[in-house]
Structure 1
Amino acid sequence: MNTIGVLTSGGDSPGMNAAIRAVVRNAISNGCKVLGVKRGYDGLINGQLEEMNLSSVADIIHRGGTILRTARSEEFRTEEGRMRALNVLKVFGIEGLVVIGGDGSFRGAQKLSELGIPTIGVPGTIDNDLAYTDYTIGFDTAMNTVVDAISKIRDTSASHGRANIIEVMGRHCGDIALYAGLAGGAESIIIPEVGLDIDQVCKKLIKGKNRGKLHSIIVLAEGVGGAIELGGVIEEKTGIETRATILGHIQRGGSPTAFDRILASKMGAKAVDLLLEGKGSLVVGVQGNKTFSIDIDEALSLEKKLEEDAYQLADILSI
């Protein structure tokens, strides 16, 4: 294999740049040419490619976001759009492609594999919603961003004697809310896998107030509902002044943690190794601190399950 392409697709996540860096430098060290695709599959369809060298990825391991940019592509969902992308890959002589993104990005990679282009997926998503791998790139950074926000909000919450709801990302997977809530000492954690029991939440708040607790933190995954609306219901039911904070896209940004930088570096390098071995239609993951690969179809067929022990522990520790 002489020429490898790399793109980032879907939502950005801290650590994507570290993965790009690993792909480029591992490929070049093995005598390969690397082409970076700008703006994901949309950029691939429109031929937005440029050759990358060692300097292209200098001083990016610590940066959030993605230097290749990212975009959603409705056109790539069509057969015509995918054929245009395939033609661009052939014109530029790309013999293998590394796709960094989430499940939607992997489905795109799967389609290109079916068209004869070896592809390797690298999991870059803050949601940690891919069942085949212990961690996805960006999750640790996003979780720490939320923990930092919880600490700051707790300070003002205690000063005013309020309850505070912190709404975090996670439409279908509540990992950010669960683990940030556990690490941040939240009184209630509301996630899509379990749903909302408003009476239980209010009961905890009232019991805490009766024993002299000055404040309470509730972490809410966006997939369950809105923090502002929930705050109104809680205040009406309990009489406890309740404020809402929606963290939004602040969770996507920031310098990646050491964990995410190392994880991304290992996964990006592994993706190149697999292509050089003549393999494709695979995704890279980590289990037990070891990188491995699995078929894209199998990876996407696995159902993400809640770590019930962690959820129960968070409930026990919040009494």
Structure 2
Amino acid sequence: MKPLFLLLLLLLLAIALVSADLRVGFYNSSCPQAESIVRAVVAENFRNDPSITAAFLRMHFHDCFVRGCDASILIKTTKKKPSERSAGPNLTVRGFEIIDEAKSRLEAACPSTVSCADVVTLATRDAVALAGGLNYAVPTGRRDGLVSNPDEVRLPGPQLPVPQALQFFTAKGLALEDMVALLGGHTVGVAHCTFFRDRLSDFQGTGAPDPTMDPSLRAKLIQTCGPTPKPLEKDPAAFLDQSTSFKFDAQYYKQIVANKGVLKIDQVLALDNSTARIVSGLASDGEGFQRKFADAMVKMGSIEVLVGSAGEIRKKCNAFNKSP
């Protein structure tokens, strides 16, 4: 048997084994109320702050793209041990206290049963549904990781062109269509001015604004951001969907088709030859976007997961059961 064929066979077997361990209704016997507990906590918080949908989407993405979907992003940084939370891209990730609240209720109902990695996945799905997205089925059965290292946090930046951004996604087993669908989560997102300020007046050091940005959007963003940069903690933010900012719909795609993308990565999706057709299709098919987004989220939620006896089931999401 040729070595390459054997390697592919082993890879397919590994994927099959993971798929067998991740399944819809994993907690039906061990903790039947698990999903309803998470849903209730998310709903309570969503009523007061609908922006948690964007927060969970970002948290889930940042978790899965570093060491896989293992809740490593939830570990608190201490004086002795930094964690993923202290890495630059994660300094504005939020919603940790809601995950902690859901975990606390789960521990009261079913001690040491439901993983924090599954809580993040379920909470994200529930927040998307509350914002008007599909209430898609989520396979569960993940285990929590034992490592959280800020040096391992490498995520695609908002200034990347499509080919370079795609490399991050294909490295995780996701296709071009998955990337375009997942970026549709920006329909409920925001971005600090520091991540797009150059597009307003000094694009790529030219001394002029980005010519691909709609002038009316540019004028609005200049008013939002002000004339001078600010520290990140004081930096204003702008909605990435300027139309239906808290509704999970396909308006994001319609806006980037009209050159109203706030982040550079958003706008280039509508302009790049490899993605323009996909963007146009999603812009005109809201239901199609919802289905493709849900499918891509399930795929992303399966990245490098720990299953079986790997890792642990944390008692608290913000700390390992035993200090590593």
Q: State if a TM-score over 0.5 links the two structures.
A: no
Structure richer in helix, relative to its length? 2
**What TM-score, normalized by structure 1, do the two folds share?**
0.29
More strand by share: 1
> Quick check: which has more Rg, 1 or 2?
1
